[in-house]
Amino acid sequence: MLGAIRRVTISATDLSAVEQAYTTYLEYQVTDRSEVSAIEAQAWGVQAAAGAASLSMQPAAGDDFEFRFIKGPAYPDYVPLTTHGWNASEIIVQNVDALAPRFTDSPFEIVGEPRDLSFSEDIRAMQLRGPANEIIYLTEFKKPVPGLSVPAARSAVDRTFIVILGGASMDELQDFYKGTFGIPKAPVMESRVTMLSKALGVSIETLYPIAAMTLEGESLIEADEMPAQAGPRHQQDGYLPPGIAIVGFDCNALPDHAIDLGNGTHVMPGVTGELIELFNS
């Protein structure tokens, strides 16, 4: 029932800083400036966000994905990747090592240098913390990997093809998405999560259980089982939580309890409280 990742929505305190960073360093372009509608804010359960400024940006290569940044409060205590919910957006790129030098002395902090993944030397990635305290992975596939259907990068930096969802229980995460959307359960493997290990003060070689749940449209949800130190993401009353707050997918069969926003889009909460946006396809 779930297809391609269409939109990743991020809470940001400074939309101008986000716009400059994404246009200059990721070659994204602005496609819309608007405000959060009262209907959206109510459906998201964040009524105070009604009327908040909104900025949408798309990759240079196409119009099939966008980041949407929504002005919100500062969360100085938020440490990305250490709470449950949507934790990172993974972008397909052509050559991660060629991109890496541009982020030196940029608004993007390099939190993970380019490395081959622990479970496949054919996948190479780096991690960035952006100006909205969001985590972005830049991922290159050196060659096709059996069992993973991913898009080819159409430009140096293309679209999000994986989103990372953290929770206390792998079974709980996979059971929810299988039961709600019919996504087959994925095999669990062990992988490094560099920034999480740094935040917890443990070796960056520490391995965590992860599973890549395959969607239609060459997209995936990576489910991460998080250690006991992690917990729910705190948010100010009436506002979106910090970091990545909502992820939108194509969907061809809507769950009964999804809320209709009246524009071909629906929204519903997930198993950890993450917000899921559904685009009729």
Spell out the alpha helix ranges (H) of the chain. Answer: 15-25, 38-44, 96-99, 170-181, 194-200
pLDDT digits (tens, 9 = 90+) for 180-226: 999 999 999 998 887 788 877 888 888 999 999 999 999 999 999 99
Residue 94 backbone dihedrals phi, psi, to 5 degrees: -85, -40
pTM of the model: 0.95
Residue 228 pLDDT level (bands cut at 50, 70, 90): confident
pLDDT, position 270? 97
- List beta partners, residue 9: 68, 246
Secondary element (H or E) of residue 277: strand 275-280
The fold of the 2-280 domain, in CATH, is 2,3-Dihydroxybiphenyl 1,2-Dioxygenase; domain 1 (3.10.180)
Q: In the chain, where are the structural domains located?
A: 2-280
pLDDT digits (tens, 9 = 90+) for 42-91: 999 999 999 999 999 999 988 999 999 999 999 999 999 899 999 999 99
